[in-house]
Chain A
Amino acid sequence: MNEVILELDSVVKRFGDNEVLRGISLNLHRHEVVCLIGASGSGKSTLLRCVNLLETIDGGTITLFGQSLTNVRVDPDKVRRHTGMVFQSFNLFPHLTVLENVLVGPVRALKRKRSDVHDEAMQLLDRIGLRERSDEYPDRLSGGQQQRVAIVRSLAMRPALLLLDEVTSALDPSLVGEVLDLLRDLAHTGTTMLIATHEMNFARDVAQQVVYLDGGVLVEKGTPQEIFSNPQHESTRLFLERVR
Chain B
Amino acid sequence: MVNETDARLSEQTPSFFAPRRKQLLLGRRAIVASTLSTVLIIGGLFAVFLLAPGGATVRHFFFNPHDMWQSFVGDHRDALSSVGLGLLTNIWVFLVAEVFVLTFGLAIAWTRMTKSPVLMPFRILAIIYSDVFRGIPVLLVFLLIGFGVPALQITFISNQSLAVYGCVSLILTYSAYVAEVFRAGIYSVPHGQLLAARSLGLTNATTMRRVILPQAVRTVVPPLLNDFISLQKDTALLSILGVIEAVQAGTIYQDLRFNSSGLVVASLLFLAMTIPLTRFTDSLVARDRTRRLASS
Contact = CB atoms under 8 A, between A and B. Distances in A.
B238 to A, nearest CB: 39
A114 to B, nearest CB: 13
B295 A91 contact: no
Contacts of B215: 93-95
B196 A93 contact: yes
Interface string A57-86: 000000000000000000011101101110
B289 to A, nearest CB: 16
Nearest to A78: B201
B201 A93 contact: no
Given A87-B192, A109-B206, A139-B295, A80 B214 contact: no
B198 A89 contact: no
Interface string B244-266: 00000000000000000000000
Interface residues of B, number: 19
Given A95-B214, A108-B210, A139-B295, A77 B193 contact: no
Interface residues of A, number: 27
Given A91-B192, A94-B215, A104-B210, A54 B295 contact: no
A19 B196 CA distance: 25
8 contacts: A80-B199, A81-B201, A89-B192, A93-B215, A105-B202, A108-B210, A109-B203, A154-B200
Interface of B: 190, 192-193, 195-203, 206, 210-211, 214-215, 218, 295
Given A81-B201, A93-B211, A104-B200, 4 more contacts: A76-B198, A77-B198, A91-B195, A95-B218
Interface of A: 52, 54, 76-78, 80-81, 83-85, 87, 89, 91-95, 104-105, 108-110, 139, 150, 153-154, 157
